[in-house]
Structure formats: structure tokens, C-alpha cells
Amino acid sequence: MKPLILAAMLGATLSAGACVAPVGPVEVTRFHVPATERLGRGTIAVRPAPGEDGSSIEFRSFAAAVSRELVRLGYVEVGPDSEAGQIAYVDVDRGVFRPGSRRGPVSVGVGGSTGSYGSGVGVGIGLDLSGPPPEQVETQLSVMIRDAQTGQSLWEGRSSFAVKSSSPLAGTQLGAPKMAEALFRGFPGESGETILVR
């Protein structure tokens, strides 16, 4: 009975672990003007950055996540076409890549030794059977907050995040809130500093 109980417990543990989404760090970099008193207050409109397809489902998911963070910071959001004191331009870039392997599939090592009872030389061959590295999805979220009247850039930030393509966080619905929350954590942040948010 004990082996069966142990196997059942191990299976339950593995099943529970499979349900947990792997969470990696989000790299965040921010820049802002020295005088930050205008940030986090007044009205703001969220719009697609030039060249960004504002009608795509992916963009709308990220724009909604950015809007929630801006409201949390103290902004009053208005419609994208309404008059506002500030405008937040949102840009999203996503790409799929496969990290290059740093080692070859076969490695050969030669070792020698000398002692009181003679000397010897050994040759070892190692095979890398791990296969190619898993495919990754990298996402970059960029936001620029400008003064609506003067066009002056008040704050700029970008967050980037890479996970396995099989991870739930590779999807927009889970990835967008995580990246927006990381981007605006500790707003406005230290200008010019790159941090990792977990």
C-alpha cells in the first residue's frame, strides 16, 4: 500500500505544479523629465503609437492593462479621441525566437594523471541529448506620456518579457496585465535605470 500511496501523492504534486504558470522577471527601463509633479494627475487619453494597429485584439488588451494602471496612479482616463491634458501612446511588439545553443551535440575530453604507480591518459566522450532549446515568445510594451498641448515627452517606459511559447504567460490575456503592472510599479521610477521586476 505504501508504494501506491507514494505514487498517488507524487502524481498529485506533479499535476499541481503543471497548473502553475512559470513567472520570469520583466525588464523595465524608464525615462522622465526632472519635474515630475504633472505625472499621475489630470486627464489622460490612451492612444496607439504611430504605426500601431489600434484595432487589433492584442493592442486593445495591452491598452486596457495600461489604462488600469494609469487610473490606479491617479489619472482620470478619457476616451482616446477626447480632449485630455496628457496622452499615453502605447506600442506593442511581439516576436518568436529560439535561443541558440551554446554547446555542440558532442564533446570530447582528454585527461592525464601521473602518480607513484605510473601514469595514464583517459578520453571521455559526452553526447548532448537534450535537443534544441524551447521556442520563446518575447514581448515588449512601450508607453510614452506626452503633454497634449506642447507635445513634450513627460515620461517614457518600456518593459520586455520572454517566456516559453508553451507558457500561459505567452498569451496576451495573462501577459498584458503582468507587463503593465511591472512597467508602472514605483511610478515614475528612477530615470534611466533598468530594473528587473518579478
Residue 184's nearest CA partner among 161, 156, 163, 162 is 156
- Residue 2 has a CB neighbour count (10 Å cut-off) of 6
pLDDT of residue 74: 98
108-131 tens-digit pLDDT: 444 454 444 455 555 555 555 556
Provide the pLDDT for residue 94: 86
Residues 144 and 153: beta-carbon distance below 8 Å: yes
What is d(CA 102, CA 97) in angstroms, rounded to the nearest whole number? 15
| pLDDT reading at 22 higher than 60 | no
pLDDT in tens, 125-149: 555 555 667 788 889 999 999 999 9
**What domains does the chain contain, in order, with CATH numbers?**
23-94+134-198 (3.30.160.670)
Answer yes or no: pTM beyond 0.85: no
Distance between alpha carbon 123 and the CA centroid of its chain, in Å?
Answer: 44
Give dist(CA 127, CA 121) in Å, integer.
20
33 band by pLDDT with thresholds 50, 70 and 90: very high
CB 137 within 8 Å of CB 163: yes
Radius of gyration of the chain (CA): 25
Measured CA to CA, the distance from residue 121 to residue 132 in angstroms comes to: 33
pLDDT-based confidence at 76, cuts 50/70/90? very high
Q: Are the C-beta atoms of 120 and 111 separated by less than 8 Å? A: no
